[in-house]
Amino acid sequence: MIFKDMHPADIAEAISAMKKNERNLEFLKLSSELKVEVFSFLDINIQEEIVRSMTQEDYAEVLNNLEPDDRTELLENFPDELIKYSINLLNDTEKQIALNLIGYQEDSIARLMTPLYIQTKANKTVKQVLQHIKKYGKKAETLNYIYVVDNNNILIDDLKIGQLLLVDEDTLISELIDHSFISITTTTPTEEAFDIFEKYDRSALPIITEKGVLVGIVTFDDILDKIKDRDTEDIQKFGGMEELDLSYTQTPLIELIRKRAGWLIILFLGEMLTASAMAHYDEEIEKAVVLALFVPLIISSGGNSGSQAASLIIRSMAIGELKLSDWWYVMRKEIASGVMLGSILGLIGFIRIFIWQEAGIYDYGEFWYLVGLSVSVSLLFIVLWGTLSGSLIPFILRKFGMDPATASAPFVATLVDVSGLIIYFSIAAMFLTGKLL
């Protein structure tokens, strides 16, 4: 297959769609430079497959020319024997870079950084810097920013490349700097780095040590990859399952079942409490069978409102819109929302019973209007309770250092199902005792 004039990402996609033997052969036919570019766009399982099919010399060439951040991600996901094999194929310089990056904590921003950038000193002229860029710029991850350091490699400023292009060549870098720059320390959690990138709208940010020494940069494309992984994990958790280690199509059936079974068992045990609650009110149901007709309606409305609230709050927390201190603001807002939403559903429920009774579609008995009031008032309180539960649980989880996404929609719905039955039958007893009950 000829990949003339195709972007490396498109080549990687085409190769990934091939059968194993054909895929490996087509990859080996690529030029040395294109191998490196295409390799970084392949999924980890295909990367591993291709590595095992390559000669030691071919793999060493690809590995030594990979961007350090791409190589770090590769080594993080490889099995132990391939990690050792890979590191031993690196030259001394690249091996030191790889070991330094892997040495940082797994969730730190330093794991994403690359040491390939352009730096200079304040006593250099713009002409000298531009000459340096022409000589070494091809290896840099990005040329958008030039980083200015002192004799101890401490970052003192960063300059946009445009600033250099708009002044005379004899201008000293010291005349352009204002010592105002944004940076991230190596120990900063990746999640916090997301917010910094978003706040300052930067395509790249320098990474410094606690003492201010410049050790690398992180570009926004690497951040986007991690944001995608984080959001995928949160969505899977919110769906009521453990996060997948691989994509859905690459996850073996047994592993998929294992990831889903745990939460399903927990939720099933929780729903058993619903059956227990129904059994507790069996006398009331026996006396007024009509009440049982509305159980699915009642509990599903509470679960739906809870899931809605949980979705809104978890997403707002994820993008930094809400913090722990905002819990009371959220409660006030959700109380108002719950009352209004519950009132709307309660009114619709009463109208439905009225129409069915008057049209002769179903006879709810002599006290149909009390049944209607029981249903409508129950909907008001259950939707309110579902809304409050769905919005409060993420705050509780965050308070105890847990991932708010664990407050999955099925979990919230199960909680509201059980409590919703108690609310429904308690309100029905208030209206119907002495009548139907």
As a whole number of angstroms, the distance between CA 112 and CA 110 comes to: 5
3-state secondary structure of 300: helix
3-state secondary structure of 8: helix
Indicate whether this model's pTM tops 0.75.
no
As a whole number of angstroms, the distance between CA 217 and CA 155 comes to: 12
Looking at the structure, tell me whether residues 16 and 44 fall in a common domain. Answer: yes
Q: Are residues 69 and 113 in contact, defined by beta-carbon separation less than 8 angstroms?
A: yes
Looking at the structure, tell me whether residues 20 and 76 fall in a common domain. Answer: yes
Give the chain's domain count: 3
**Do the bridges between strand 119-121 and strand 204-208 make them parallel or antiparallel, or are there none, so unpaired?**
unpaired
**Which residue, of 46, 71, 103, is where some domain finishes?**
103
As a whole number of angstroms, the distance between CA 133 and CA 317 comes to: 41
> What pLDDT score does 108 carry?
85
Determine the angle formed by the axes of helices 220-238 and 295-318, rounding to 10 degrees: 160
Residue 270 lies in a domain: yes
- Residue 188 domain boundaries: 119-219
Residue 232 lies in a domain: no
As a whole number of angstroms, the distance between CA 232 and CA 243 comes to: 8
- Compute mean pLDDT per 10 residues along the chain, 437 residues long, and list them: 78 88 86 87 87 88 86 80 79 79 80 86 93 88 90 92 92 91 89 84 88 88 76 66 65 75 69 68 68 83 85 80 89 92 92 89 82 91 91 86 71 79 86 74
Residue 144 sits in a domain whose CATH number is 3.10.580.10
Backbone angles phi, psi at 310, to 5 degrees: -60, -40
Residue 266 sits in a domain whose CATH number is 1.10.357.20
Residue 31 sits in a domain whose CATH number is 1.25.60.10
> What pLDDT score does 385 carry?
92
